Amino acid sequence: MSNSIKKNVYLRVSEIEPELLRSYIINEVGEKAKDKLYNYLRDLTESYPQFEGWFFNVVIPDIELKNGKREIIIALSEVEDFPGSVLTGIAILKNTDEEKKICTFRIHENFRSQGIGTELFEECFKYLGTKKPIITISSDRKEMFEHHIKFYNFAETQVLEDYYKKNSIEYVYNGHLEGKS
């Protein structure tokens, strides 16, 4: 597959009907389906052992309420020589009076360094109403975020050991974490 992007579209998952949203996440028999939205994020359980429970028990129910507290923004791209759209990026956001946070941010490894990350960050900023949201990055993923940390002048405000996972460091930018979110 050629990785040449022709066009990107950014969608807020809360604007998708709940039945369709669930079809992106779970197959018809209620099992987590292969090639669905969650599988795009599955490897995060290595850095964040509670990720699956948080995703299905906190994020998805909040999005289905359409109360604006949580959102998933997905990047769909038209790729040269490939039919249909490809899921190339995803961000999970928390937007409350107390906290404006990018909880999860991913660009598919085959589509990095093509501007999708910058465009997705801009979509996150619009939704959160700030260009300085809280974002945490684990030590094993910090290097892949260095460009955007510098580009947006994110300020490192905390370094937390064992916060999400034992023997792991979590870097916090633009704010402070107390409880897990």
pLDDT digits 0-9 by tens, 72-111: 898 877 777 776 667 788 899 999 999 999 998 988 888 8
In a domain, 143, yes or no: no
The answer to whether 149 and 173 are in contact (CB under 8 A) is yes
C-alpha distances out from residue 128 to 59, 68, 73, 138, 152, Å: 16, 10, 12, 22, 15
Q: What is the pLDDT of residue 156?
A: 95
Burial class (CB in 10 A: 0-12, 13-18, 19+), 123: buried
Considering only residues 27 and 121, tell me which one the structure prediction assigns the higher pLDDT.
121
Entry pTM: 0.81
In a domain, 39, yes or no: yes
Considering only residues 163 and 2, tell me which one the structure prediction assigns the higher pLDDT.
163
In a domain, 64, yes or no: yes
What is the tens place of the pLDDT at every residue in 123-179?
999 999 999 999 999 888 899 899 999 999 999 999 999 888 888 899 999 999 876
The strand order across the sheet containing 70-79 reads: 5-12, 70-79, 85-95, 100-107, 134-138, 169-173, 156-161
In a domain, 145, yes or no: no
Number of domains in the chain: 1
The CATH number covering residue 63 comes to 3.40.630
In a domain, 122, yes or no: yes
Parent domain of 33: 5-133
Phi, psi of 131 (to 5 degrees): -95, 5
In a domain, 43, yes or no: yes
Helix (H) or strand (E) holding 148: helix 142-151
In a domain, 142, yes or no: no
In a domain, 98, yes or no: yes
